Structure 1
Amino acid sequence: MLRLFVGDDWAEDHHDVEVMDTAGRRLAKARVPEGVAGMARLHAILGGLVDDADEVEVLVGIETDRGPWVGALVAAGYTVLAVNPLQAARFRDRLGVSGAKSDAGDAHVLADMVRTHSHELRPVAGDSARAEAVKVVARAHKTMIWDRTRHTQRLRHALRDYFPAALAAFDDLDAADTLELLAKAPTPAAAARLTIPQISAALKRARRRNVADKATAIAAALRSEQLGQPEVVAQAYAASVQALLAVLTVLNTQIKTLQGQVEAHFGQHPAAEIIASQPGLGQVLGARVLAEFGDDPDRYRSAKARKNYAGTSPITRASGKKKVALARFVHNDRLIDALTTQAQSALMWSRGARDYYDRQRARGVGHYAALRQLANRLVGILHGCLKTGTLYNETTAWPDPAQQSAA
């Protein structure tokens, strides 16, 4: 069967493509527009190179694994290989040392990579539409949480510069009662005039406990003597803070709305029950894990392959008599964040996970390294459950070490 190798360097509005044969000869190159017209042009280019479309295999290398363009390539029957941009950059250095770079040159690099290393590149996962839907809402939800954290830090820095009493009064700067009270009194002078009933009303609307004691403590902190800024400067800071408060208020509302969407989409997925049965994984965290792993049953050939993709397994550097195991620093940030959070939570919900973590700590392993090892073990357990279609079982997942030794 004839094989054609396509390098696709994509941009927002166009694609530079190059087609090679098995000998590395350039058969065609072109710049095609994004969208339906560009896809039709690409099909026409490939169709013009063969007599029988049924007797050709087309392998496409592209530096992304999602989007309608990639979906159209897969639907056309092409084998789409997702190339990490770091891999492409390293391969480009092998072909030349001048440092020259262009879109057409990148398409050439991708085509040559696919021609020579297709057996080592990762095909785009064949995830289901339900898994893709989970990914969309889970990623949007997490992105908004990260945005809220960034805006909260900006608010903290601003308050520290002109209103330190607010930092003493409020523990959670993105909480509903804090946002309400700061919006009502954004300057030290206005905050000092807040009454106990006003503060108590905001706490009640936020469903806080021990309202009377908390209101008294907040009022005292807001009226305490602190270093400050001239009034005109304080008013300028207040204007910027009110803008941050408005953004945080909207983010809180949309995060809550999106959380409902995450739970709804995750609950409709066939693997939801198995994933949610894992220790430390609830509806939201489980949705993030599903979103980043995907649900292609053939994507991970073994638990080791899943662990390597997750970035929880170590890498080994060996030279001569020296051999060291190091943490992976190139990984899916969203996935490693979810798995680390799961491991931290599993310490409270799984006796086996707790014992495993404690054994690592007893060996002198640091907290984060032990947590990463626990996350690695949990990924293996999840892989086994998904492959066998069984729910998590504490006894099976963490057999007694004494019984294992006897066996």
Structure 2
Amino acid sequence: MINNHDEVDIFIGVDVGKSNHHAVAIDRAGKKILDRALPQDEAKIRAIIQAVAGKGTVLLVVDQPSTIGALPVAVARAEGIMVGYIPGLAMRRIADLHPGEAKTDARDAAIIAEAARSLPHTLRSIALADEQAAELSMLCGFDDDLAKQATATSNRIRGLLTQIHPALERVIGGHLDHPAMAELLIKYPSPEKIHNAGQTRVRTRLTKYAPRGGKPWSADIFAALSEQTVTVPGSGSAGIVLAQLAAMLKQLRTARNELLTQIEALVEAHPLHEVLTSMPAVGVRTAARIITEVAGKEFQSSGHLASYAGLAPVTWRSGTSIRGDHPSRKGNKTLKRAFFLSAFAALKDPLSRAYYDRKRAEGKRHNQALIALARRRCDVLFAMLRDGTLYDAPTIKTT
């Protein structure tokens, strides 16, 4: 909700774009006073805002407050103009209420301006930029990209091994998340080269990066090699590709580790660090994601935060034929994933495990119980952020 909405005289709706935006300004009576393209250029954006600002108090509303919409928001702030944004889902629903099916920048900008004027409850305020949160958002986005590439590369390695030697894939693929296996494939990227190297060299190679697992893994690898005597066509080329893929996987993991160091430094310097990490199973990456997705946003209740994260159940009611509560498929997917993975990691915490087990005993499936646990942790986190207090585990009463 935008504060001081009653004091606004001019509402500017901006439909943002990569190279050009479109701005429509209307007064409190709904009369259009501006309708033009707005280049992605600071000087021109500033000139238009200054021209409109001379007619009264101005509120500028965008449909994307970050990425391609960051410049108009920054310029408006520099000019002392109130800024806000309208969520994408609300924008689509409001657009359906307007006549016509055309999808143009001018129409979308007009809809945003009209929503800002007549539907203030659909707007969200944009808090002053948090430099640390902005940097974390960029680094976490890159980390997500690296994680996806690493997963795709790992899957490609397992696919090739399955094609040429299924038994070997069952051993190497099962431990491919360990750096030792990537190092092995860089040095010996095919079943033939592994066999020719001999068990002693393979064991030495693995033990260098996995002191505990090197010996048993090498024994399992050579046991798997003995299960297949034929050479599948394409094994030679697969060896060439596997070496490259293993090197890529190593590089991606190294990049993620280096990035994690920078993310950790930013998280530790953020005011919310101590509060967030006091909660069990909230590590560096989870804390970073909570900061990037929650910082600068206002939540009236824990239910509001849970709904934003897609953790609140959706109630379906239609007479007597459709009744029930179902998991939400909407919300902030990034935040939901962070809460879900954190809840999974929290199963090692006795209190969280007890709650999970109770939900399982009630008949909920694994994922349902995890979502319930994530929602419970979301409620606790909201209270911690609201009060600025550290996590305080309740005392378990013993009889």
Cα shift readout 1:191-217 (whole Å, capped 9, x = no counterpart): 321222321232123133143332222
What value does the CA root-mean-square deviation take over the aligned residues? 2.6
Q: 2:215 aligns with which of 191, 212, 217?
A: 212
Q: Which residue of 2 aligns with 1:339?
A: 339
Cα shift readout 1:132-174 (whole Å, capped 9, x = no counterpart): 3333323332332232112211222222223434313312324
**Large movers: runs of 4+ above 4 Å:** none
Q: Which residue of 2 aligns with 1:115?
A: 117
Cα shift readout 1:312-353 (whole Å, capped 9, x = no counterpart): 11122333455422211112222111111111122211x322
Q: What amino acid does structure 1 have at the position aligned with 2:27?
A: D
Note if contact 2:339-2:374 (Cα within 8 Å) is conserved in structure 1: yes
**Between 37-46 and 322-331, the greater mean CA deviation after superposition:** 37-46
Note if contact 2:16-2:62 (Cα within 8 Å) is conserved in structure 1: no
In 1, Cα distance between equivalents of 2:42 and 2:232: 59
Q: Which residue of 1 aligns with 2:48?
A: 42
2:232 is paired with a residue of what secondary structure? coil
Q: 1:244 to 1:106 in 2, by over 3 A?
A: farther
Q: What amino acid does structure 2 have at the position aligned with 1:279?
A: P
Q: What amino acid does structure 1 have at the position aligned with 2:318?
A: S
Q: Which residue of 2 aligns with 1:276?
A: 277
In 2, Cα distance between equivalents of 1:325 and 1:65: 33
Q: Which residue of 2 aligns with 1:378?
A: 377
Q: Which residue of 2 aligns with 1:249?
A: 250
In 2, Cα distance between equivalents of 1:174 and 1:345: 17
**Between 189-198 and 9-18, the greater mean CA deviation after superposition:** 189-198
Q: Which residue of 1 aligns with 2:4?
A: none
2:22 counterpart of 1:16: yes
Q: Which residue of 2 aligns with 1:175?
A: 178
In 1, Cα distance between equivalents of 2:213 and 2:240: 32
Taking only the aligned residue pairs, the percentage that are identical comes to 27
What does 1:20-99 correspond to in 2, within 5 Å? 20-47=26-53, 50-51=54-55, 55-66=56-67, 67-97=70-100, 99=101
Note if contact 1:191-1:223 (Cα within 8 Å) is conserved in structure 2: no
Q: 1:195 aligns with which of 190, 195, 198?
A: 198
Note if contact 1:169-1:222 (Cα within 8 Å) is conserved in structure 2: no
Note if contact 2:115-2:122 (Cα within 8 Å) is conserved in structure 1: no
Q: CA deviation at 1:249?
A: 1.7
Note if contact 1:60-1:80 (Cα within 8 Å) is conserved in structure 2: yes
Gaps of at least 5 residues in structure 1 are: none
2:355 counterpart of 1:352: no
Q: What amino acid does structure 1 have at the position aligned with 2:347?
A: L
Q: 1:43 to 1:271 in 2, by over 3 A?
A: same
1:58 is paired with a residue of what secondary structure? strand
Q: 1:128 to 1:181 in 2, by over 3 A?
A: same
Q: What amino acid does structure 1 have at the position aligned with 2:324?
A: V
The normalised TM-score by structure 1 is 0.86
Q: What amino acid does structure 2 have at the position aligned with 1:327?
A: P
2:143 counterpart of 1:141: yes
Note if contact 1:60-1:78 (Cα within 8 Å) is conserved in structure 2: no
Cα shift readout 1:252-308 (whole Å, capped 9, x = no counterpart): 1101101111211111112211111112112332222222222x4x71222222222
The normalised TM-score by structure 2 is 0.88
Q: What amino acid does structure 2 have at the position aligned with 1:46?
A: V
1:385 is paired with a residue of what secondary structure? helix
**Between 316-325 and 361-370, the greater mean CA deviation after superposition:** 316-325
Q: 2:10 aligns with which of 4, 13, 18?
A: 4
Note if contact 2:12-2:58 (Cα within 8 Å) is conserved in structure 1: no
Q: CA deviation at 1:223?
A: 4.3
Cα shift readout 1:205-245 (whole Å, capped 9, x = no counterpart): 31331433322222332343166532xx3333334333322
In 1, Cα distance between equivalents of 2:385 and 2:103: 43
Q: 1:173 to 1:352 in 2, by over 3 A?
A: closer
In 1, Cα distance between equivalents of 2:229 and 2:122: 62
**Between 157-166 and 262-271, the greater mean CA deviation after superposition:** 157-166
Q: 1:276 to 1:19 in 2, by over 3 A?
A: same
Q: What amino acid does structure 2 have at the position aligned with 1:325?
A: D
In 1, Cα distance between equivalents of 2:210 and 2:85: 48
Q: Which residue of 1 aligns with 2:158?
A: 156
Gaps of at least 5 residues in structure 2 are: 1-6
Q: 1:94 to 1:285 in 2, by over 3 A?
A: same
Q: What amino acid does structure 1 have at the position aligned with 2:247?
A: A
In 1, Cα distance between equivalents of 2:30 and 2:236: 67
In 2, Cα distance between equivalents of 1:82 and 1:226: 64
In 2, Cα distance between equivalents of 1:237 and 1:56: 67
2:99 counterpart of 1:100: no
